[in-house]
Chain A
Amino acid sequence: RKEVEQDPGPFNVPEGATVAFNCTYSNSASQSFFWYRQDCRKEPKLLMSVYSSGNEDGRFTAQLNRASQYISLLIRDSKLSDSATYLCVANTGGFKTIFGAGTRLFVKA
């Protein structure tokens, strides 16, 4: 079983749609969690950290459920520019940072 698992997609949604990505992690010792965004042939960029209390940044909302070892990312009012691969990341302390395989999102006009 992979340490961080994501639905690979692709998710094809129209502009303005709400889309949710899910991620599970297997190591209960994982301490911190993040969502990264990666455009085609570009480097990953930190989108947001994920906290148990939930956090929001504009159209993006991230949630963490430690009991279920589950992380989510919600994107509201999708834009064409949101098309990218979204990587779920868990860190177990120190430098052990595990990336999920990523979920591809295509937003269409």
Chain B
Amino acid sequence: NAGVMQNPRHLVRRRGQEARLRCSPMKGHSHVYWYRQLPEEGLKFMVYLQKENIIDESGMPKERFSAEFPKEGPSILRIQQVVRGDSAAYFCASSPLENEAFFGQGTRLTVV
């Protein structure tokens, strides 16, 4: 049973480009969460999705950030027009229930 799969593991983008981060939840998990971790800080909630629905996006910046979890395929976190402050590790977690969250290995985004 594969764990939560995130790709790419490392992503380098120039300022102004778009970053697309993908997350495939564990088999049987229909809840997906995205968190951001700045260097030497804790994880901050961004968005909670179920298939084809955004349940809670209260942690998502209002501009440039969007997320989706389509009926087929992985969940996508999209960051448009990236800036240096977007450099961070982005973690996806999935769960079959609302509390038992299992995390992926993360995508480390570097904006140059």
Is the pairing of A and B real?
no
Q: Which residues of A contact B (CB under 8 A)?
A: none
Q: Which residues of B contact A (CB under 8 A)?
A: none
